[in-house]
Homo-oligomer: A and B are copies of this chain.
Amino acid sequence: MISIVILGSGNVAQHLIKTFGKLSKQSNQIVVKQVYTRNPEALRGILNRDKITNHTGNIPEADVYLIAVSDNAIKEVSSSIPFSNKLVIHTSGSMGLEEIDTKNRSGVLYPLQTFSKSKAIDFSTIPIGIEATNEKDILTVKQIANVLSKKVFVIDSAQRKALHVAAVFVCNFVNHMYHIGQNICEEHQIPFEIMQPLIEETADKIKILNPKEAQTGPAIRNDQKTIDKHLGFLSNDIEKNIYNLITQSIQSHGKKL
């Protein structure tokens, strides 16, 4: 059994708390002793009030301290843990191990997924990249990650940063492409749901083809007439710039690779 204190109450923290809560009904491999957050209200309905504290002085002793707060707050939260020589891990894709105050041992458990409060998620399918400074701690982090997910892999900080940047492209930027698509549809009284099969097929296709092979559309066909038509159609300058730049990038990748 590994006892854990979770620090944080944002999207990732909430999904972790819910998942550990569910899993604790099946086995007692992981016990969440307490959650520390400056904002206990955020966990209303998710966790019993007696499991939550907003005083660092009340943080109990545990095997592992799991910090799931915004990147900029990791340092401060880690230094507020009133213990030393404990394993303290954060969940950030972009922050190094050095964010953890050196009075404790450091590790990372990075779930590669997009979390929104209002959408439930099956943690068992989420790839988790883990890291720690010594073998024993790697084993402990792995034990925790294995309880959450079937896809756990040990990576170093450089790989984690690469994953985080890649995730910005394949998730955040992709979602923004959906947003622009929705705007265009709505401007022409077209329900956005019509795009959903195309969106799903685009995501599905790359299980079989790699993205370079899967590329379709006017850019890769060098179909300048259609490209010009589309640019003439777009009224928003940023959208025009995005159209131009990604078209250029598709064409240069098409050549290069």
Contacts and interface: CB of A to CB of B under 8 A. Distances in A.
Interface residues of A, number: 97
B199 A174 contact: yes
Q: Describe A's contact surface by its main secondary structure.
A: helix
A218 B173 CA distance: 11
Interface string A222-244: 01011001100110001101110
Q: In the complex this chain forms, how many copies of it are found?
A: 2
A1 interface: no
Contact of A114 (B118, B212, B216): B216
A119 B209 CA distance: 8
Contacts of A202: 114, 170-171, 174-175, 203
A103 B58 CA distance: 84
A48 interface: no
A194 B94 contact: no
B225 A252 contact: no
A211 B178 contact: yes
Given A112-B197, A248-B238, A216 B172 contact: yes
A182 interface: yes
Contacts of A252: 238
Closest 3 CB pairs of A and B: A172-B217, A162-B188, A179-B211
